[in-house]
Amino acid sequence: MQVDWFLDSGERPVTTDNEVRPLIEGATYYAELLAEVRRLRKGDLLLFTDWRGDPDERLDGPGTEVATVFSEAAQRGVIVKGLVWRSHWDRLAFSAAENRHLGDRIEAAGGECLRDMRVRSGGSHHQKFVVLRHPGRPALDVAYVGGIDLCHSRRDDSEHLGDPQPMTMSPQYGERPPWHDVQVAIRGPAVGDVETTFRERWTDPTPLSRNPVYRLQDLLEREDTTPDPLPDQLPDPPPAGEHAVQLLRTYPYRRRGYPFAPLGERSVARGYCKAAARARRLIYIEDQYLWSPEAVACFADALRNRPELRLIAVVPRYPDQPGKIGGIPQLLGRARAVDDLRDAGGDRFAIYSPENRAGTPVYVHAKVCVIDDEWATVGSDNVSLRSWTHDSELTCAVVDPSGAYARDLRTRLGMEHLQLDSPAPLLDPAAAFAAFAVSAAALQTWHDGGRKGERPRGRLRPFAPTAIDGWTRRWSSLLYRSIFDPDGRPSRIRGTDTF
């Protein structure tokens, strides 16, 4: 069964006998990560990658700041190695200063954290994972993969009151933006595959940056730009469960390609497309973006070809950045994708956005896809050309022979969004589709009626794309394609439906 869902093992390895556990919301992930890092001892290994790392982000209260916890591990003799995206200027609302400060703190404690700019022009390293290895104690080995950065705004819980250490976002999300996200904990042989992804990047001989200004700055400031050798990779951990895992990745095509992906890698896109083509009953997606006709084409084709198939999408109501320049191109990208899915599926396609009990929109940063309760992914990748072709990404695709993993992930997320006490109303895919519609319609009716009376259960409201006029569509299309959702495929297949 797993072979039918996964890409051929010659393209991406498949491991069996794993245990994969979803960690829903940042507070859940942070608390577990804190406990696991604190029990690392001398000679153990902590490897991590990140898009943004805030050194002062607390994993669970005072004294648990990321930089403090990782630095304390290094001081105990743990081998701590990190790769964070070098990022663009902070004035562009990225994270250059934060990522540097995190690296400085870790290196001062004896670890090593490099800022990695080996990306396509305008791209980023978007992978977010942590690997913990324990020589002589392999049953403790674990890897965390998903969409949750070690930074501000991520430590929210299921109440969605927001992280006490917030990032600045669009004003619709308030001063303490509510945040929804998912990570997975992997135990078993697949931990070795996650570690291999780190080692491939770490040992890449390409300079961390080709920018001569950056390289001069690094020289003058004596920044570490040469990765020290890693200890030999340990054998894969022993069996831990029954889950089959295939790690899917994105790397862009570059003139001087990655040694491990000379023509780039687009197994994320191909993995999604293969699984979508097998869909028969229900596709469930949570996504930060859900952009691009090219990226949603496989889902649209599935809806057209299978009249019994339904698709539920959960997305943020507003872009993360304020203003026309930051927001309108994002709205345009989603509007095009939603139009294509609605044309293909009609009333079998439904899209929603969540809010907390106070009515503040919840920013959906999760990257989840569950198909027919058999194949499920959690990762760093969004449904967009940028994630499928242009930035570095890592996602964990799982097939459980018992069928429980994907179903439980979907129903747990549905229970949170609909505020249900039991998964029973969601177990049948058609019933789940109807339950989402009824709940969202009730909440929308309550809002339309002036929010009078008792607030209905549930946090989802129907998502309606913003109307964009002709002139705005023209200028925002240029920004959308060139900056927000660029195509990182080789020129021979760019602009096609081939990944």
Domain presence at residue 427? yes
User: Residues with Cβ < 8 Å from 328, sequence gap 6 or more?
Assistant: 468, 472, 476, 479
For residue 123, the number of C-alpha atoms closer than 13 Å in the C-beta half-sphere is 28
Q: Are residues 196 and 255 in the same domain?
A: no
* Partners of 286 in the β-ladder: 314, 368
Q: Are residues 302 and 450 in the same domain?
A: yes
User: Residues with Cβ < 8 Å from 62, sequence gap 6 or more?
Assistant: none
Domain presence at residue 180? yes
Four-residue CA torsion sign, 431, 434, 295, 243: negative
Four-residue CA torsion sign, 424, 428, 430, 436: positive
* Exposure string over 238-247, b if 16+ CB within 10 A, otherwise e: eebbbbbbbb
- Give phi and psi for 462, each to the nearest 5: -55, 140
User: How high is the pLDDT of residue 97?
Assistant: 55
Mutual angle of helices 26-38 and 66-75, in 10-degree steps: 20
Residue at which a domain ends, from 188, 221, 254: 221
Across the chain, mean pLDDT equals: 93
Q: Are residues 199 and 279 in the same domain?
A: no
pLDDT value at 444 more than 90 = yes
Domain presence at residue 124? yes
Q: Are residues 450 and 345 in the same domain?
A: yes
Residue at which a domain ends, from 221, 251, 270: 221
Count of structural domains, the chain? 2
Helices (DSSP H) in 94-253: which residue ranges?
Answer: 96-108, 190-202, 212-221
C-alpha–C-alpha distance, residues 32 and 175, integer Å: 27
Mean pLDDT of 100-108: 83
* Six-digit token string for 244: 């089959």
Question: CA–CA distance from 410 to each of 117, 197, 316, 371 (Å)?
Answer: 35, 27, 18, 9
87 — pLDDT class (breaks 50, 70, 90): confident
Q: Are residues 170 and 54 in the same domain?
A: yes
User: How high is the pLDDT of residue 242?
Assistant: 97
Q: What is the pLDDT of residues 406-442, one digit of tens each?
A: 999 999 999 999 999 999 999 999 999 999 999 999 9
Residue linked to tokens 């669009």: 170
State the CATH number of the domain containing residue 330.
3.30.870.10
pLDDT value at 211 more than 80 = no
Q: Are residues 260 and 298 in the same domain?
A: yes
Q: Are residues 176 and 322 in the same domain?
A: no
Q: Are residues 317 and 205 in the same domain?
A: no
Q: Are residues 268 and 217 in the same domain?
A: no
* Partners of 50 in the β-ladder: 84
Domain presence at residue 490? no
Q: Are residues 75 and 112 in the same domain?
A: yes
Q: What is the pLDDT of residues 315-339, one digit of tens each?
A: 999 999 887 888 899 999 999 999 9
Domain presence at residue 5? no
Domain presence at residue 237? no
pLDDT value at 218 more than 80 = no
C-alpha–C-alpha distance, residues 389 and 246, integer Å: 18
92 — pLDDT class (breaks 50, 70, 90): very low
User: How high is the pLDDT of residue 90?
Assistant: 43
Residue at which a domain ends, from 152, 186, 221: 221
C-alpha–C-alpha distance, residues 383 and 315, integer Å: 11
Q: Are residues 116 and 216 in the same domain?
A: yes
Four-residue CA torsion sign, 49, 400, 12, 371: negative
Encoded amino acid at 349, one letter: F
Smallest Cα–Cα separation from 179: which of 170, 191, 188, 166? 166
pTM over the 0.75 mark: yes
Find the domain containing 390 and state its range.
243-484
Domain presence at residue 51? yes
Mean pLDDT of 172-198: 98
Q: What is the pLDDT of residues 365-388, one digit of tens each?
A: 999 999 999 999 999 999 999 999
Q: Are residues 141 and 200 in the same domain?
A: yes
User: How high is the pLDDT of residue 2?
Assistant: 65
Domain presence at residue 146? yes
